[in-house]
Structure 1
Amino acid sequence: MKLRSKHVLRLASWLLLATSASAVGLAVRHAVVASAKLPDGPVELVWDKAACAACGMHVGEPGFAAQLTTKDGDTLAFDDPGCCFLYVEEHQPDIHAMWFHHHREKRWLSRHAVAFARLEVTPMGFGIAAVEVGQPGSLDFEAAKRLCVERTSGHP
């Protein structure tokens, strides 16, 4: 009888220890996930190595690049603003932020600071490139998005 109660006591101690370790592990995991912060700005791309999330081409021309970060923390790169617009239209991701590389300058523009200039030649033929809001003759975000989504050519 005494042997059995020692065995039960030992088993209960091990179960308590295992449960405590699991609880600590879950608490640590929750703290790490909760403290993971989504990027405040665009993520650095490796030009000619990053692949466009929409068409699969390499993102090689910074002046036409775009990227978006989802609320899950995934960052997607695009080789043309039109590819970004089509991806959003087709996949409806839960977007944290969108960035468009300025066509002529080495900097990124947020979704709220971007407008689009019309160009003859662009990587995927959508005919737009990112410029700052207020640029004469530029398209606003929604007009550029409509233009790209309504296109039937220039994208696989």
Structure 2
Amino acid sequence: MKQLHVAFIAACAIFLGACSNDTYEPREIQAETDICAICNMSITHVDYAAQSVLKNGDTIVFDDMGCLMAYREEHGDENIGASYIRDFESNAWLNIQDASYVYDSEHWTPMNYGVLAFANEEAAQAFIDETSGELLAYTDLTTFNWGVHEH
């Protein structure tokens, strides 16, 4: 009987462990239906989209990196499993903490925040060398003066 209890407890532990989500993967943006959680705009320019995957598995989507940062400032990070932004060059999803950024006030983004994400610092610097802008790391974005933007 004791072996049955041990086996039952082990099976429950395995089942509950399988239910936890330690990896948080981005999902594709549905331009027809996805709405930014901050500005309520349709996400029609998916190449600038961002998203946060919550620890409960829900995904919150944004049309601009500035909106994602506004959400994180308003709601905190404790319920966020991971956040992603589109790479400006490849359109691949990048973890926001691993990406390098360029701020260029003259570059259009959906909410005119002017922040672009790149897979690495070299790619970001190459963009700056060809155009203009300021190189930023994720930690810079947490204290960045995002300003007020018209929706």
Fold shared per TM-score above 0.5: yes
Q: Distance in 2 between matches of 1:55 and 1:41?
A: 23
Partner of 1:80: 64
State the one-letter code of the partner of 1:142: T
User: CA contact under 8 A between 2:66 and 2:146: conserved in structure 1?
Assistant: no
Q: Deviations over 1:102-141 (max 9, x none)?
A: 1231311112321212232111111111112312152101
Match of 2:114 in 1: 127
Measure, in 1, the Cα distance between the counterparts of 2:148 and 2:34: 23
Runs of 5+ in structure 1 lacking a partner? 1-26
* Match status 1:117 vs 2:102: yes
Question: Please, which moves more after superposition, 126-135 or 38-47?
Answer: 38-47
Q: For residue 151 of structure 1, report the CA deviation from its aligned partner.
A: 3.1
CA distance in 1, matches of 2:84, 2:57: 14
Q: TM-score, normalised by structure 1?
A: 0.69
CA contact (8 A) 1:64 1:101 kept: yes
Deviation at 1:36, TM superposition (A): 5.2
Q: Secondary structure at the match of 2:135?
A: coil
Aligned length: 127
- When residues 89 and 37 of structure 1 are mapped into structure 2, their CA distance, relative to the original with a 3 A threshold, is same
How far apart in 1 are the matches of 2:17 and 2:62? 27
TM-score (normalizing by structure 2): 0.72
> 1:151 matched to which residue of 2?
146
- RMSD value, Cα: 2.5
Identity %: 28
Q: Which has the larger radius of gyration?
A: 1
* Structure number having the greater helix percentage: 1
State the SS of the aligned residue for 1:109: strand
Structure 1 CA distance for aligned equivalents of residues 53 and 22 of structure 2:
8
How far apart, in 1, do the equivalents of 2:23 and 2:37 lie? 19
Q: Which runs of 4+ in 1 moved over 4 A?
A: 31-34
Contiguous gaps of at least 5 residues in structure 2:
1-10, 126-133
The letter for the 1-side match of 2:53 is: T
Give the Cα–Cα distance (whole angstroms) in 2 for the partners of residues 61 and 89 of structure 1: 23
